[in-house]
Amino acid sequence: MKIHEYQAKQIFGKTSILVPKERIATTPEEASEIAKVIGLPIVIKAQVHVGGRGRAGGVKIARTEEEVLKFASQILGMDIKGLTVKKILIGEAIDIEKELYIGVITDRSSNRPVIMVSSEGGVDIEEVANKSPEKIHRLTIDPAYGLLTHQAMNLAFYLSDEIKEVRKIASTLQKLYLAYLDSDASLVEINPYVRSKDGNFYAIDAKIILDDNALFRHPDYEEMRDLTSEEKIEQEAKEKGLSYISMDGNIGCVVNGAGLAMTTMDVIKHFSGEPANFLDVGGSSDPEKVKNALYFLLLDEGVKSIWVNIFGGITRCDDIALGLVEAVKELGIDLPLVVRLIGTNEEEGRRILSESELDIHSVGDMEEGAKTAINLSKGKE
Amino acid sequence: MGILVSKDSRILIQGITGRDGSFHARLMKEYGTNIVAGITPGKGGMKIDGIPVFNTVFEAVEKTGPNVSVIFVPARFATSAIFEAADARIELIAVITEGIPVRDMISVLRFIEAKGSRLIGPNCPGVITPGECKVGILPSKVFRRGRVGVVSRSGTLTYEIVSHITAAGFGQSTALGIGGDPVIGTRFVDVLELFRNDQDTEAVVLIGEIGGSDEEMVAHYIRETDYPLPVFSFIAGRTAPKGKRMGHAGAIISGGSGTASEKIKALKEVGVEVARLPSDIGKFLKEEFNEK
């Protein structure tokens, strides 16, 4: 789950990593009130789940009260890469002397956290990695011991020569690692991490991506969720145990397993059809999930035919068949239905379908299924 | 023969009294797998399909001597179950459970490394050496004993592709899914190394998907080690949109990395044939072995 900059800073705040004085506003008037408390000049920043806000005009410095109102009204409601700005962060303007980068990420290739620091802060770190990789220093953290003080110091020496500063940075690095652990993040990042003219170090921007699997341990993060309308449907599906992603095509897909669901889309495209969605009913067996899956498919008016592609393993074909029969009855589906059931309890599944006397196009394999669903979506038998 | 599991493997099932655990215990047993014990804390003394249930792994190890454990324990309790299995020196631990927090897996894998066990998964279908032993949830019917090693990041897509391998007249030495999470135990390269040393395996089918860089690591490994076996591959997610998580936590394309086309290019460069459709894998194998 992605969270906003101001929410990430709330998490950092708990570890006593220094952040500028800041508050969130949803109207220009609120922004103006906050600016009075903090004192001008102030920085106004759009809170959206994409990078490149600055370049899109979503970050501005206001030096007068008029500018606060003007920039706040400009940024609120602005569209940044397809996302509408609903909240702005109003913060004190820090006198920046030096911009650094610090971050912790889960490294898939070593199965461990990796901490990264760079003297090139304030720019896209992936760009730094491409252009001047020697400016990024990494350390793989042994999860049994955490980030040891000398390791943090060694990294900090890449960012400063002054021992006082090095100790400050090292301490922040250790706090950052603890924030990564405590919040169950897959990424925590401060970019830029800034030294101000008064000699302090601040987290000017902050980014945290949380591990969805661990959200059950953090019920307080639930209120940080901010979803677009499209994401809301995906989230609703997720709460019902389904992975659902809407696409532009007209063939609704119900599949078990993410790999098979992706392949189902690939095969439809291979035969020049267009999938309406990715949908994985997940790794446990429950007739209710099929009903829910069809419910979400039917929300999409573009769907012209439905293809149920099930290869039973932990999912049992009889559970799928039961769910299908109930769904067709309860939801009144009148779209053509192509079904392929194979694997665990397939005979039982097929028996349930044939006894139900539903109008179903039964297919034996994926390629036949794709072709049939494509033809039916065009109104051909 | 094959790799990882064989007729000599002695299997323990953790979470044997749950809906999935008990159902698949029966299917594994019907397949001929030598299941020696099950675990559910608090249900020791019970029997499931004649399999004795114990409260702790240590007790089961002492009384029944398992060397492989398969874990069906729900996500919130699975981490503890894996720690316990590794602590009791179970050699191979296959984790079927999906939804385990990544931080927990990082700790678990560190512990496993220290204990010298091997972990497959999490969020995986398990491993089968056809005709000898099935550990996990793979549907027995599609597998045949043979000489093609199969390794996959997916579950059901593995069954799909294995059904094409079998229909083309080829069996499998061992087939396994390594799981769809970003942090996993055994990786593609580890499995390729095992197949290299297995006398029963004459070709490898590798089923990858978008996200991460394991397929690129395979390409590197094949080149560096002059891999002796022919490798055929299928990569799922050619048409997946960017930035979206396609079910598997690992299956996400971000920035310019982890795309299907990059993976396919890397694999083709080292001589791996990459299928466009799952059924192509059967055709590739026919071409390879009919030439010989």
pLDDT digits (tens, 9 = 90+) for B124-178: 999 999 999 999 999 999 999 999 999 999 999 999 999 999 999 999 999 999 9
Cβ pair B244:A108 closer than 8 A: no
Cβ pair B102:A280 closer than 8 A: no
How many angstroms separate the CA of residue A221 from the nearest CA in chain B? 15
How confident is the prediction along chain A (381 residues), in pLDDT tens digits per residue? 889 999 999 999 888 899 999 999 999 999 999 999 999 999 999 999 888 888 889 999 999 999 999 999 999 999 998 889 999 999 999 999 999 999 999 998 899 999 999 999 988 888 888 888 899 999 999 999 999 999 999 999 999 999 999 999 999 999 999 999 999 999 999 999 999 998 899 999 999 999 999 999 999 998 898 887 777 888 889 888 899 998 989 999 999 999 999 999 999 999 999 999 999 997 666 888 889 999 999 998 899 999 999 998 888 899 999 999 999 888 888 899 999 999 888 999 999 998 988 888 999 999 999 999 999 998 865
How far, in Å, CA of B171 to CA of B152, rounded? Answer: 16
- Chain B's closest residue to A273, CA to CA, is B239
Neighbouring residues of B30: CB distance < 8 A, sequence distance ≥ 6: B140
Q: Which of A143, A186, A313 sits opposite B159 (nearest CB)?
A: A313
316-375 in chain A: CB under 8 A from chain B? 342-344, 365-367
pLDDT digits (tens, 9 = 90+) for A312-331: 888 889 999 999 999 988 88
Among A2, A83, A108, most B C-beta atoms within 10 A, so best to mutate, is: A108
Q: The tokens 């970003």 sit on which residue?
A: B182
Cβ pair B20:A112 closer than 8 A: no
How many angstroms separate the CA of residue B103 from the nearest CA in chain A? 6
How many angstroms separate the CA of residue A37 from the nearest CA in chain B? 39
Cβ pair B180:A258 closer than 8 A: yes
Residue A158 sits at the chain B interface (C-beta within 8 Å): no
Q: What is the 3-state secondary structure (H, E, C) of chain A?
A: CECCHHHHHHHHHHCCCCCCCEEEECCHHHHHHHHHHHCCCEEEEECCCCCCCCCCCCEEEECCHHHHHHHHHHHCCCEECCEECCCEEEEECCCEEEEEEEEEEEECCCCEEEEEEECCCCCCHHHHHHHCHHHEEEEECCCCCCCCHHHHHHHHCCCCCCHHHHHHHHHHHHHHHHHHHHCCEEEEEEEEEEEECCCCEEECCCEEEECHHHHHHCHHHHHHCCCCHHHHHHHHHHHCCCEEEECCCCEEEEECCHHHHHHHHHHHHHCCCCECEEEECCCCCCHHHHHHHHHHHHHCCCCCEEEEEEEECCCCHHHHHHHHHHHHHHHCCCCCEEEEEEECCHHHHHHHHHHHCCCCEECCCHHHHHHHHHHHHCCCC
How many angstroms separate the CA of residue B114 from the nearest CA in chain A? 10
Task: Specify the domain boundaries for CATH 3.40.50.261 within chain B.
Answer: 139-291
- Chain B's closest residue to A214, CA to CA, is B101
Cβ pair B238:A257 closer than 8 A: no
Residues of A in Cβ contact (< 8 Å) with B71: none
Closest to B241 in 3D by CA, of A266, A307, A268 = A266
**What is the distance in angstroms between the CA of the first residue and the CA of the last residue of chain A?**
43
Residues of A in Cβ contact (< 8 Å) with B239: 262, 265-266, 269, 275
How many angstroms separate the CA of residue B140 from the nearest CA in chain A? 8
How many angstroms separate the CA of residue A313 from the nearest CA in chain B? 5
Q: Which residue among B24, B164, B220, B248 is the active-site one?
A: B248
Cβ pair B155:A184 closer than 8 A: no
Residue A162 sits at the chain B interface (C-beta within 8 Å): no
How far, in Å, CA of A269 to CA of A260, rounded? Answer: 14
Residues of A in Cβ contact (< 8 Å) with B160: 260, 263, 311, 366
Residues of A in Cβ contact (< 8 Å) with B105: 111
Q: Which two tokens stand for residue B74?
A: 């729900």
Q: What is the pTM of this model?
A: 0.91
Task: Specify the domain boundaries for CATH 3.40.50.720 within chain B.
Answer: 11-120
Cβ pair A259:B212 closer than 8 A: no
Q: Which of A217, A259, A313 sits opposite B137 (nearest CB)?
A: A313
**Chain centroid to CA B105:** 16
pLDDT given for residue B256 in this prediction: 55
Residues of B in Cβ contact (< 8 Å) with A270: 276-277
B248 is catalytic: yes
Sign of CA pseudo-dihedral A144, A147, A150, A151: positive
Residues of A in Cβ contact (< 8 Å) with B21: none
Extract the residue ranges of chain B whose pLDDT is less than 50: none
Residue A241 sits at the chain B interface (C-beta within 8 Å): no
pLDDT given for residue A132 in this prediction: 87
Residues of A in Cβ contact (< 8 Å) with B96: 314
Catalytic residues of A: 101, 189
Question: Is B11-120 in CATH node 2.60.210.10?
Answer: no
Residues of A in Cβ contact (< 8 Å) with B103: 181, 184, 211, 214
CB pairs below 8 Å between A and B: how many? 170
What is the predicted ipTM? 0.90
Q: Which domains does chain A have, with CATH numbers?
A: 1-20+95-226 (3.30.470.20), 21-93 (3.30.1490.20), 229-377 (3.40.50.261)
Topology of domain B139-291, CATH: Rossmann fold (3.40.50)
pLDDT digits (tens, 9 = 90+) for A22-51: 999 999 999 999 999 999 999 999 999 888
